[in-house]
Amino acid sequence: MDGLSVMEHLVFMTEMKLGSCKDLRIKATLNSLVEEFKMKPHVNTPVGGLSGGERRLLSLATTFLSNPQILICDEPTTGLDSYNALLVIGVLKKLSASGRIVICSVHQPSCDLFKEFSSILLMAEGRLLFHGSQDECKNVFESIGLLCPLNYNPAEFYIRAVSSSSNVHRLVEISPNRSEYHGTGSVRPDLVHTYNRPVQRNWFKQVHLLLWRLSLSLKREIKNQIIQLFITVVITSMVLGVAYVGATGTTQRGVQEIRGFLWLLTSEVSFGVSYSALYAFEYEISLFKREVGVYRCSAYFVSRFLSFVNPTLYNMACRPGLNLVSRSGSAQPRYHDFGVYCSTYSECDPSCCLW
C-alpha cells in the first residue's frame, strides 16, 4: 500500500512471514535487510513517494525476508534510469558474493551495467550459445571473426550478432557448452514437485495484521475519508431521514412510506458501495495477487469486510427520524430489522465483489 512507510511495510511482511518483530533475532534480520538494501534513509518515507529504483530495492528486500538461496530476476532494471539500474544491480551483485545464486535477464544493458556481471549467458532460437565469463565470450566471438569495435557496447554487439541465423549456427558448432531445447510434449512425473509454503501466522493474527495495515493506510488519507463519510453518510442519510420524518407503521400510508424509506436506504447503500468497489477493484486485486501465499484469502476477506462500516452509519443516522413500532404497539426499535441490514451489508461490501 502506497500510504505505508517503508518500515511499516517491512514490519508487516516480517510479521506475516517470520513472526513477531519483538523477537531479537527477527528484529536483527529486519535491520540488516534495511542496511543491506540501502533503505535506511527512507524508512519513514511513504512507499508511494519512493523512486522507481527505491521501489525495486524495497521489493527485493521483501523477497529476501525468507532468505532465498536462488533468486531469478526478470528484467530488474526495466523502467529505471542508469543510476538506479546500477544501484539495483550493485545490490544484487553484493548478494551473489555472499554465496547466493542470482540470475538476471537484462535487455540492452549499458556498458557500466554489463561490466557488473561475473558471467553471461547468451541464448537464441531456443539454444544456449554461450555461458561463461566476459573474457571467454569475447574470445569465442573473435574466433569466428566477430570482433567488437572499440568504444562499442559489448552487450549490444553480442545481441546483434546472435540475431543472425548464420552466426547462431557458427556459435553452436564451436561452443563447448552449447545446448538445445527439444520439446517432449510430456513431463516426467518423478520430476514434478509441488511446494506450498506453509502460512507462518495463525488466522486471527493475520486478520489483526491486515486490519492494522488498513488502519494505517486510512490514517494517511484521513481528510479524504472524512469528506467521503460526510457526503455519503451525513448528507445523504439526513436527507432521507428528514424526508420521512414522522412516518409511522400504524397506518396504511405510514407503512407505504416506511417501505419506500427502506428501499431508498438499501439502494443508496448498495449503489454507492458498488461504485466504490469498482474503483478499488483494480488496485486491491493486484495487491492481493502480489502477496499471494503471505496470508489466507479468508483472512483478507474478513479484514476487508470488518473495515467497512458505512451501512451501519446509514442505519444509525436515518433510523431516529422514523416512528417504527413493534407489534405490541410500543415505540421501540424492532431489532429483527438488524438482519435486513446485515444482509444488505454483506451484499454491499467491496471485498465481496473481489471474489
Check whether residue 165 and residue 212 sit in a common domain. Answer: no
Domain containing 230 equals 203-354
Check whether residue 150 and residue 235 sit in a common domain. Answer: no
How high is the pLDDT of residue 73?
A: 87
Task: Give the separation between CA 295 and CA 302, rounded to whole angstroms.
Answer: 12
CB count in 10 Å sphere of residue 207: 22
Check whether residue 16 and residue 160 sit in a common domain. Answer: yes
What CATH number did the domain enclosing 78 receive? 3.40.50.300
Check whether residue 10 and residue 154 sit in a common domain. Answer: yes
Query: Quick check: is 77 in a domain?
Result: yes
Chain position carrying cell 551483485 = 93
Chain position carrying cell 493474527 = 205
How high is the pLDDT of residue 338?
A: 47
CB 54, CB 39: distance < 8 Å: yes
How high is the pLDDT of residue 270?
A: 67
Residue segments in the chain with a per-residue pLDDT below the cut of 70: 1, 175-200, 225, 228-229, 232-233, 237, 241, 244-250, 268-270, 272-277, 279-280, 308-355
In tens, the pLDDT along 4-38 reads: 888 888 888 888 888 777 777 778 888 888 888 88
Check whether residue 288 and residue 178 sit in a common domain. Answer: no
- Quote the longest CA-to-CA distance of the chain: 101
Query: Quick check: is 17 in a domain?
Result: yes
From 137, 169, 191, the end of a domain falls on: 191
Chain position carrying cell 479524504 = 224
Note if the pTM is more than 0.75. no
Check whether residue 187 and residue 207 sit in a common domain. Answer: no
Write out the E strands in the chain. Answer: 70-74, 101-105, 120-124, 127-132, 179-180
Check whether residue 241 and residue 114 sit in a common domain. Answer: no
How high is the pLDDT of residue 233?
A: 66
Check whether residue 160 and residue 211 sit in a common domain. Answer: no
* Cβ-Cβ contacts under 8 Å for 315 (sequence gap 6 or more): 265, 341
CB 2, CB 46: distance < 8 Å: yes
CB 350, CB 304: distance < 8 Å: yes
How high is the pLDDT of residue 81?
A: 83
From 131, 162, 191, the end of a domain falls on: 191
Check whether residue 160 and residue 298 sit in a common domain. Answer: no
From 191, 214, 239, the end of a domain falls on: 191
How high is the pLDDT of residue 200?
A: 59
User: Is residue 104 within a helix (H) or strand (E), and if so which, with residue range?
Assistant: strand 101-105
